[in-house]
Each structure stands twice: as structure tokens, then as C-alpha cells.
Structure 1
């Protein structure tokens, strides 16, 4: 049983119809007043019809087959004698077949231009054509080069499901109305260089099998490339996206170049796949750039670019990656770096929550603006207000930091709890942390002053939640969690080890202090006795890190010892030896017993210069754990014993604190 297409909706020519094989025959619409289409009219009938045409006439040749000569004959009477341009009113060429070259160059379509399902077997020439109303090429097929260079589309331009088997040239074309290229197939090169889309441009689900060039294109409204496929290279160099640019679920199998492109609105690359090199060198993003769930299969270089917000959430980088951004925010939540990567950042606040790092990742802050290829400085005007803001890390929660290197970044707001292998992170350059509140504060009626040290943002959050918290501790933002001392102590311990492993003992001191603070305030896992010992350790020497505090206590202990010795420890005078003789009756041998009298507490003035000198001598000997040899009262003996225990300990704590600050 033979199959054939149903007849068209218009009265058609039916030339060559065969009831057995082709019951429809020629599908060309009948020429008004005739029984055949334009292609099958007799010469006289065709001449009469053409002679009746004038510039701007309405023509309807749907389904008609055109040779090059027949098309020339049709357009000849439609040409304006002054300009030589063909002027067509409404022109209906649906399902027409152009067997030769179809040259509509510089033609003006004053009404609807309908080429739906038309077949261009030869080249389609629409260069410099003007479409003043709807231009519909839906499902049209261009088997040879199609040239729409510098054409002007004042109304809607519809190329949906069109097929371009060869070159498709739209360079310099102007689309004043919506441009629809959804589901179009470009098997040859697609060139839109310097084209201007003043309204929406839709390329959703389009397929580009050859190179696609969009250099210097201007997209005035929504630019939609969702689910499009670029099987070869695509170049958007110097393109301008003035509104939303959607590249969601786009597949880039070849090189993708966005060098010097400008995205003034939201730029979405969610779930896009980059199979080869992708370059965003010197691109500018004024709003949000979304790469959520995008996949980059080979070497990637994004930037340097200027952006408002860049979202790389759940993106996958399979090859070596270099990302250079001057932005307000960079989101890398659940981003997978499956090869070496480097993030070069200016001003950006980076969220690396739950990112996967299988190879070394370096996050480095840049002090100077990025330089362009010509040596000029990349402008950052629209980042006003962020000019003095260094690159910041917002969160490392859920990250395996074994391969992470942080250089010259601000960690004052970074969330560390939940980071794996934090002790193996490398901190290079000037990485800054949060500080304790400065100045003197009143808490529960007492003045409080914090010794300067580096602290974690999460300690700020915890202390800000306490009922008696002083001003200066920053509260957590909603949704960031509320870790307590039990969770923060291991974080401090890991960072301390990271500094110690890099031979930076002074840098590790603040994190040891933070660890001990968290243990001292941990009522969940630290026993009361241990907290008491830690509290004493803190008061006496700041956990062996505050030399002045230990020396202050040492001075106080020595002063107390001197005062106690002068008051109770020194006798009123040094004891004298006494001899007692016993003479038996009748003479004989004389025996002398020499006894040393017990020291007596003085009853007169105890605080004299001589007594002070003796007490000071005893105290100084106690500091170095020596006995002075001075005769003391019973109370003085106990005072000296206590002094010989306490004061050398305080001296050792002072030495330990000084050593911790200068050791390398």
C-alpha cells in the first residue's frame, strides 16, 4: 500500500497526479482566475498574470515550485523603478519549493512574509531584505547557504524547527521583534556576528552542528538558549546581554568562548554541560551568573570577569580549572572539582559548603584589579561599595580540606564546623580571622576587657547568644546553625595543628587559646573539676599564653610573700646560742648543753627596712626554688614553702608564654 502526504488546505494545481501513485500531484496553489499554479501556467497565462502585478502587490504561491528564472520573472514586476528593490505586500510561500537560487536580496516585504515549510534547494538570498511584518520560516529547509546578512525584521521572525543544511548567515541582521529559532537545526556554520536582537531571542532546543558565531551580538531582551546543543565551537565574544540570558541545560561539546561578553541581567547556566574548553575571559556580569549543576568536562578558564553574583552550585569541573572573578558573591555549594583548580578572586564572598575537592584547590585573594589582554585594567565600576572589600570565605562546612589552600583571604565570617580534615588545610599569605570586641565593656556590673586574639565567626555567634553577652559579638544570620563549645573546640584544635604543621607557632597560639576557652565553657563534655582547673589556668596565665598576666600574678605573689614574711615569718631577732653548765657537788666533770632558742614573733614595729630586706631575700630565693637559709618563724616556714611552690610555677608560665610568641 503506497503512502503519500495529504492534500494541502488550498486549492492546488494537481499537475501530474496519478490515482495509483500520487493522487495529489502538484501542490501549488492556483493562480487567481486560472486552473494551474504559477509553475504550470502556459506562457501566455503566466505573462498575463505577471503583467498585472505592481510593486507592493499581494502574492500567494504556496506549494509552488520555483526555478531561478521563474522567481526572477515573479519579482521583476514587483521592483520599484526608483530603487530597484522588490516590494512585496503579503507574500505567501508556504511549502514552496525553490529548486534554484532564491534571491530576495534587498527585497521589502511590506506585509506578512510566509515561508513555512518552504524548501530552498539552492541558496537562499535574503541579504539586506526588509521584513516589515511577520517573517515566518517555520520548518523551512535550506539545503544550500542561506544569507540573511544585514536583513531587518521589524516584526516577529520565526525560524522555529527550520533546518539549515549549509551556511546560515545572519551577520549584521536586526531583529526588532521577537526572534524564534527554537528547535532549529544548523548543520553548517551559523553566523550571527554583529546582529542585534532588540526583543526576545529564542534558541531553545536548537542544534548547532558546526561553528556558531555570535560575536558582538546585542541581545536587548530575553536571550533564551535553554536545552540548545552546540556540537562544535560557539563564540559569544564581546556579545552584550542586556536582560536575562538563559543557557540552562545547554550542551557545549566544543569550545565555548564568552570573552569580553557583558551580562547586564541574570545569566543562567544551570545544568549546562561544557565538554571542552570554556572561556569567560574579561566577561562582565552585572547581576547573577548561575552555573548550577553545569558540567565542565575538560579544561576550563572562566574569567577574569566582573560579576554581581556567580553561582556554580553543583557544577562539575572534570579538567584543570582556573576561575578569576571580581564579584560580590561566588556560590560553590556542592560544586565538584575533579581536577586541580584555582580560584582567583577580588571582593567576592565565597560559599564552598559541601564542595567536593579531589585534587588541590587554591582560593587566592587578588589585591590588584585584573589586567586585560592589552594591559589595561578591568573596570569594576558597578561593584562600587565593594572596592575595599577583600575576598572572603563564607563557609567551608562539609568540605574535605585536605587539598585546600587558602591565600590572602578574609576568614572573619567563615563557618568551619563540619569541615573534614581541617587540620590539613594550608593557610598562606595574610589570611585574616575575626577579632574579639575591642575596648572595655561592662558585664554584670564589672568592667571586662578582652585580650586581642583571633577568633572564629562561630565563637562570635555563640557568645552573642549568651544572656550576659557584651556588645561587639556578632550574632549569626538565620539558618547558619548554632554550634556550641563542644563543636568549636575540635575546630580550634584542627586549625592550631594546621598552623603548627606549617611551623607557625605564634600563629597557632590564638587557636590554642580558643580551644581552651571552648573546653572551659563546655558544660556538656567537660567535667566540673576539669573546668575548675582550666579556669585557674586561664586566670593565672591565659592558658600559658599571656606573659603579662602570669608576671602580674608573680609580682602579686611576691609582694604577698614579702608582706606575710614581714608580718609573721621573720623573728624579732636572730636566735642566740646559750650554754648551761652543771657542776656536781664536790667537784668533778662539768657538762655544757647548748640550745638554740625558738624564733619569736616581734611585738614592736614589724615593717622596717631591715625586715623588708630579709623578706625580699627569702622571696627572691623562693622564685628560683632555693632556700634562703634565713631563720623563720613557724608561720614563715609555711609561707616560704608555699612561695617556693607557687612563684616558680608562675615564672615558668611567664617564660612559656613568651616562648610561645617568639618560637618559629
Structure 2
């Protein structure tokens, strides 16, 4: 050592001795400790404290101030009672510090203090405590500490370790912090197990370099962990959050070396936690996260969270709204037996691994809008009691509803992509598959009262939609517009309000048993038949308001389509007729043929020959489908023609007499005189006329041997044409009704 260094050390020792002397005099005279810009050893500092009066063998310190002091070696300051302010600023402890069992009755200021290690077990902080920019390079223990007015760790440099381990049992003990801990840094393990936080707890931007243990903690006021960072495992098992819990921007980076875990010991565990207020998580977790059996009383949000190591929420209870908007479950998630009693939102959520909601209860609306699952998403035995919405979702690995109970007001799968076969049983006031894509087909089993829309759906494989055999409880198909009907089979459903316009390959649709249609408005002369709602729209547009009863069968949530032309409706009927004919169902095809002809007649111009021909065809035999009408007209024709025959068809009856008018020799003159006798009346000739009308009507090619008047010949000619036509139409109509 040089002479200058020796002199400097000597001067420093002298100054230190002077400062210590002044400190001792301050202790003796003013009963307080005050040091500034000095170096002191731990035993020397303890000696100063023990010069103060004691109460029950514990030093009573009125005031304790250190500023710019360096304390070397171990420093045991346990069992103090600091009645006034404790202010340590810019103090550096090179050895372990012990404050256990001390009581601080006034403000505690440990700003910019550097601790090698700290033991503050069983300490009591009555007023606010500030540890701003404090650095803990070694273990820091606050076991069973009580903070009544709050603590501020804002911008703490670092915590080496904040484990609270019982020295005798080795178990994690308590840490009691009422208020705010923000921007802290724990370089090693931090344990707050069993702590009770009586006031707001703010751990904003806190960095946990080792395991963070909040097991069985009680947060009675707001708990803020915004942008906190957990490098290793984080345990919140059994924690209770009585007010708002905010984990926005949190990162859980613990490495889950064992992969997906379903037991305790996961890197981040909230198992059994109770969130009695609102909770907000916007976190990144590289290890497994466990919320098993957790309780969320108010709203909870995991918006934009990243779970890269798997997540577990099974048996959790969400009593308030729950939001998983834009959440990424990289390795899947387990929501088995979870109970959602309010809105459950999974919009834009990504399910990377196998995920399940097996046995889950959804009492409130559930929303999976724009959700995406790489592997199978299972809702087996789940219960949905409100609405289930998954518009524009994509299920690459399929979605399973085996044994699930869906009794919902709305099942919205519009524009959803089902890449695997879909099998689902549901009861929905409204089931919307508009624009949905079923790449592998599927089977939909619908309960009575359900209404399903398949408009613009892309059916790449066969799809079967089945309902009930009971006529009064058949589900309704609302629309198959612009659907490839070749892959569609409908059984036991009602098509009374179904829109068919624009359906592709409608002639290849398979209508199984129990598929029913609407019927036209009742009139005395109108026969009962199957009609489609488009006919009602076309007739309503043409001014026939009676058909509004058919149009009104559309549910209120369906937008009434624009007026459809009768020609389009006729093409729809034609395709449906061909479908029934290909199924060897002639009676079923007859109604669609009738509807096709009706729409052709309605589409024709009023003064056209087509309109006249079709109207005559309709009037005479109902397009060869109304046998009774044809038989009645045939009977009317026979009676009318028979009456005409009796009136003008037969000639008058005359006789010729020869009267002697003179006699000459050998010659007798006789004159012939034609005398008309009394003629029979119309009633007398009517039986003959009816009989002749019947004979001539059914004998098309047999020549007549009966003398007729010129008018009678004309009547007979017309009769021989009309009567066989009506007879043929009647027989054809009868055949169309009885053919199988």
C-alpha cells in the first residue's frame, strides 16, 4: 500500500470514528439513530441500536435514518420496535440483514437500498412501506409479514430470492402484503404462499426470475400484475381474488419439460383459485398453465393470450362473462366439466392441439366466431342452454358433439368450415348453416321446433338431415338456395317454408319419408296439394293476397326474398317432380307436376294461345290429375249432348196414306198423301237421346245407323271428339293417383 493510500485509509478511519462518536452521542442525547455517508459494520450498527431503551428485551428506536451508508458483514437488527420513521436511502449491505420480528409503527423508506439477503419474517408494518429501486441480490424472506397500509416496490432493481420457507419444517409459509408492488424484479425464487393482501396489490412489470409462489394467497383488493414476467414456474393454486385481478401483458415463460400435465406441479398453476372480482389476463405462457377448479365470480378476460405449453381449465366455474378473444392455445386446452353461467367468448381463438369441452355447461351465449382448431375439438356430453355461435370458424380436425345436449335459441354456423364429418343432434329455434362448408358430409338430427337454413352451403359429400316422424313436431328446413342438392337427403322434416330457388341438381335431392310441404289456401273448389313457398311469393306478386298465408310461414328472422317469377318456380317444381319420379313415387310427383303447370299458366301472357290451352287443360281435368273433375265434365257433356239429340238431333216422325180419288173402267186412281202424326215430347225423346249420347261418345270409330238431322250430325261429330278426350283424361288422372 502506498503512503497516500495509507494516509487516506487513516483519515477514513478517523472520520468513521468521528461519525460513530457523533452517532453514539445522538443515541444518548436524542434517542435516535442517524448516519450519513459512512462505512460501518453490522455488529457496530447493532451496538448502536442496543444502546437505546428496551421494552421486553427489544430495542425501542424513536427514529432510524441511514443515508449513503455502507454496512459490511452480517447485520442482525431483529426484534426492533421502530416508533418513528425508518429511512434507509442509498444504503448498501454487503452481508445478510436480519429484521425478523421487528415492528415498524411509522413510515418505512428503503428506497435504493441494496441487500445481499434479507430476513424480514414476522415483521409488522403499520404504515406505508416504500422499497423503490431496492435491490435484493440474494434471498429475501417476508414470511408471515403483515403490511397494514401498503407497500411500494416500484422500480425495484432486483430480488435475488424472496422465498418464505420455514426453517424448521422447510415448508412455504406466509407473506402478507396489503398494497402495491410494481416494477419489481425477483432474480430467484419468490414465494408469497398463504399471504393475505388487504389492499390493492400492484406488481406491474414485476420480473420473477425463479419460481413464483402465490399458493393460497388472498387478494382482498385489486391485484395488478400488468406486464409481469415469470421466467420459471408460477403457482397461484388456491389463491382468492376478491376484487379486480389484472394480468394484462403477463408472460409465463416457465419451461414445461414434461409436456401436457394434468396434475399439480405445472409451471404456472392457478388451481383452485377464487377470483371474486373481475380478472384480466393478457399473457404469454410457454409452459403449462393450470386453472383447474378455479372460480371466476365476475367477468374474466384472457384477450390475446398465448398458451404455448397447454392450458387446463377443467372443472372451473365462470359465473360472469368470460372472454378468450384472440387467445392461442398452441398445444390445446382442457375445458372438461367447466361451467359457464354467462357469455363465453372464444372469438378468433386458435386451438392448436387437441382441445375438449367434454361435459361442459354453457348456460349463457357461447361465441366461437372466427375460431380455428387444427385438431379435433370435442364437445361430447356438453350442455348448451342459450346460443352457440361459430360463424366463419374453421374446424380442420373436426368437431364432435357426441352425446351433447343442444337446446338453444340460435346455432350459428354460417360460413363455417367443417373439414371432417359433422354429426350433431340439436334443438334450435334457428340453426344457420348459411355458406357453411361440409367437406366430408355429415348427419344433422333435428328436434321438433327447429328451423335450419342451408342457403349457399357447400356440401361436398352426402349430408343427411333427419327429424321426427310426428307430423306436429317436424323440424323446418328454411332454405336450400344455391345448394348442391345432389348430396342432400331430407327425412322427417317440414319443407313448408323452404326456399328452393337457385338450388343445383335439385332433381337429385333425396326426400325420405315424412318430408312434408305447405298446402294452398283453402277454397271449396281447390284441391289439397303440396306447394312450395316460392309459389306463394309468385302468386302474391301477381295480386292474389290469399296466398300470403303460405308466405307467412317463413320465420320472422328470414328476409322475405324479392319477387320470384312464375317461370322460375315452374323450373323448381319440374326438378322436384323429376326427383320424385326417379324415386318411383308417382303420386308424390303428381303434386309437383300440378304446381309446374300452374306456374306455366301463370307465367303465360293472358291473351296468348298457351294461356288458353293451359287454362283449358286445367279446367277440364286439372292437368290430367283431377279425375273427379274430368268425370264430372264427361257426365255433363253426355247429358248436354243427349239433351241436344232429344231436342234437335232426331228427325220428325211422318206417315204416308193412299186415298182413292176416282175409278175409271179398268183403272183405279189412288193418290198418296203424307200426313204428319203427333210428335213425341222432349221428355219422351230424352232417354233415347242420352242413350245415343253415351253410345256415340264411347264408340269413336263405329258409324252411326240412326237417322239424324243436320244439326244432330253436327252435334254427334263434336261429341265423338270431346267425349273420348274427357274419358281419356279421367282415366289418366285416375292412373296418376293410384300408380306406385
Question: What is the aligned partner in structure 2 of residue 400 from structure 1?
Answer: 484
Kindly indicate whether residue 683 of structure 2 is the aligned counterpart of residue 607 of structure 1. yes
Question: What is the aligned partner in structure 2 of residue 224 from structure 1?
Answer: 323
Question: What is the aligned partner in structure 2 of residue 463 from structure 1?
Answer: 539
CA distance in 2, matches of 1:117, 1:147: 18
Contact 2:179 2:199 in 1 (8 A): yes
- Map Cα deviations across residues 296-345 of structure 1 (whole Å, 9 max, x no partner): 11222244422210111111112222232211101112112222222222
- Map Cα deviations across residues 155-176 of structure 1 (whole Å, 9 max, x no partner): 2212222222242222221111
Tell me the CA shift for residue 36 of structure 1.
5.4
CA distance in 1, matches of 2:229, 2:131: 17
Q: How does 1:15-30 map to 2 (within 5 A)?
A: none
Question: What is the aligned partner in structure 1 of residue 215 from structure 2?
Answer: 127
Kindly indicate whether residue 403 of structure 2 is the aligned counterpart of residue 314 of structure 1. no
Contact 1:495 1:511 in 2 (8 A): yes
Distance change in 2, residues 1:243/1:44 (3 Å): closer
Distance change in 2, residues 1:632/1:98 (3 Å): same
Contact 1:570 1:632 in 2 (8 A): yes
Contact 2:486 2:505 in 1 (8 A): yes
Distance change in 2, residues 1:56/1:565 (3 Å): farther
Question: What is the aligned partner in structure 1 of residue 510 from structure 2?
Answer: 426
Contact 1:62 1:92 in 2 (8 A): no
Question: What is the aligned partner in structure 2 of residue 498 from structure 1?
Answer: 579
CA distance in 2, matches of 1:113, 1:334: 49
Kindly indicate whether residue 275 of structure 2 is the aligned counterpart of residue 175 of structure 1. yes
Contact 1:39 1:70 in 2 (8 A): no
CA distance in 2, matches of 1:39, 1:575: 159
Q: How does 1:158-237 map to 2 (within 5 A)?
A: 158-164=246-252, 165=254, 166=256, 167=266, 168-182=268-282, 184-237=283-336
Question: What is the aligned partner in structure 2 of residue 6 from structure 1?
Answer: none
1:333 maps to which of 434, 442, 446? 434
Question: What is the aligned partner in structure 2 of residue 94 from structure 1?
Answer: 183
Contact 1:316 1:336 in 2 (8 A): yes
Kindly indicate whether residue 243 of structure 2 is the aligned counterpart of residue 144 of structure 1. no
Tell me the CA shift for residue 283 of structure 1.
3.3
Question: What is the aligned partner in structure 2 of residue 416 from structure 1?
Answer: 500
CA distance in 1, matches of 2:144, 2:490: 72
CA distance in 2, matches of 1:650, 1:334: 50
Kindly indicate whether residue 608 of structure 2 is the aligned counterpart of residue 520 of structure 1. no
Question: What is the aligned partner in structure 2 of residue 118 from structure 1?
Answer: 206
Contact 1:574 1:631 in 2 (8 A): no
- Map Cα deviations across residues 341-400 of structure 1 (whole Å, 9 max, x no partner): 2222223211212111222222222469xxxxxxxxxxxxxxxxxx96431111122222
Structure 2 alignment gaps of length 5 or more: 1-65, 71-84, 105-119, 149-172, 257-265, 659-673
Aligned to 2:193, the other structure's residue is in SS state coil
Distance change in 2, residues 1:97/1:474 (3 Å): same
Contact 1:60 1:92 in 2 (8 A): no
- Map Cα deviations across residues 577-623 of structure 1 (whole Å, 9 max, x no partner): x9xxxxxxxxxxxxxxxxxxx9x9984313227x6146414523422
RMSD (Å) for aligned C-alpha atoms: 3.4
Kindly indicate whether residue 636 of structure 2 is the aligned counterpart of residue 556 of structure 1. yes
- Map Cα deviations across residues 256-310 of structure 1 (whole Å, 9 max, x no partner): 3223333333322111112211222343444332211111112222444222101
TM-score normalised to the size of structure 2?
0.72
Distance change in 2, residues 1:250/1:655 (3 Å): same
Aligned to 1:500, the other structure's residue is in SS state helix
- Map Cα deviations across residues 135-171 of structure 1 (whole Å, 9 max, x no partner): 1222323333322122110122122222222422222
Distance change in 2, residues 1:175/1:624 (3 Å): farther
CA distance in 1, matches of 2:185, 2:700: 111
Kindly indicate whether residue 621 of structure 2 is the aligned counterpart of residue 541 of structure 1. yes
Kindly indicate whether residue 518 of structure 2 is the aligned counterpart of residue 452 of structure 1. no
Contact 2:638 2:697 in 1 (8 A): no
> How many residue pairs align between the two structures?
584
- Map Cα deviations across residues 373-430 of structure 1 (whole Å, 9 max, x no partner): xxxxxxxxxxxxxx96431111122222221211211111111112222111111121
Contact 1:227 1:251 in 2 (8 A): yes
Aligned to 2:478, the other structure's residue is in SS state strand
Question: What is the aligned partner in structure 2 of residue 239 from structure 1?
Answer: 338
Aligned to 1:454, the other structure's residue is in SS state coil
Question: What is the aligned partner in structure 1 of residue 452 from structure 2?
Answer: 350
Aligned to 1:487, the other structure's residue is in SS state helix
Tell me the CA shift for residue 57 of structure 1.
6.4
Contact 2:638 2:693 in 1 (8 A): no
CA distance in 1, matches of 2:730, 2:463: 41
CA distance in 2, matches of 1:574, 1:419: 74
Question: What is the aligned partner in structure 2 of residue 154 from structure 1?
Answer: 242
Question: What is the aligned partner in structure 2 of residue 488 from structure 1?
Answer: 569
CA distance in 1, matches of 2:370, 2:609: 56
Tell me the CA shift for residue 436 of structure 1.
0.9
Tell me the CA shift for residue 450 of structure 1.
1.5
Contact 1:282 1:306 in 2 (8 A): no
TM-score normalised to the size of structure 1?
0.80
The higher-RCO structure (CA 8 Å, 6+ apart) is 1
Contact 1:78 1:87 in 2 (8 A): yes
Kindly indicate whether residue 87 of structure 2 is the aligned counterpart of residue 33 of structure 1. yes
Question: What is the aligned partner in structure 1 of residue 697 from structure 2?
Answer: 622
CA distance in 2, matches of 1:649, 1:315: 56
Contact 1:61 1:93 in 2 (8 A): no
Structure 1 alignment gaps of length 5 or more: 1-10, 16-30, 369-386, 441-448, 579-597
Distance change in 2, residues 1:433/1:247 (3 Å): same
Distance change in 2, residues 1:641/1:339 (3 Å): same
Question: What is the aligned partner in structure 2 of residue 592 from structure 1?
Answer: none
Kindly indicate whether residue 734 of structure 2 is the aligned counterpart of residue 633 of structure 1. no
CA distance in 2, matches of 1:340, 1:207: 33
Contact 1:619 1:643 in 2 (8 A): no
Distance change in 2, residues 1:219/1:40 (3 Å): farther
- The structure that has the greater radius of gyration is 2
CA distance in 1, matches of 2:677, 2:342: 95
CA distance in 1, matches of 2:474, 2:489: 17
Moved more, 356-365 or 257-266: 257-266
Question: What is the aligned partner in structure 2 of residue 54 from structure 1?
Answer: 124
CA distance in 2, matches of 1:427, 1:236: 39
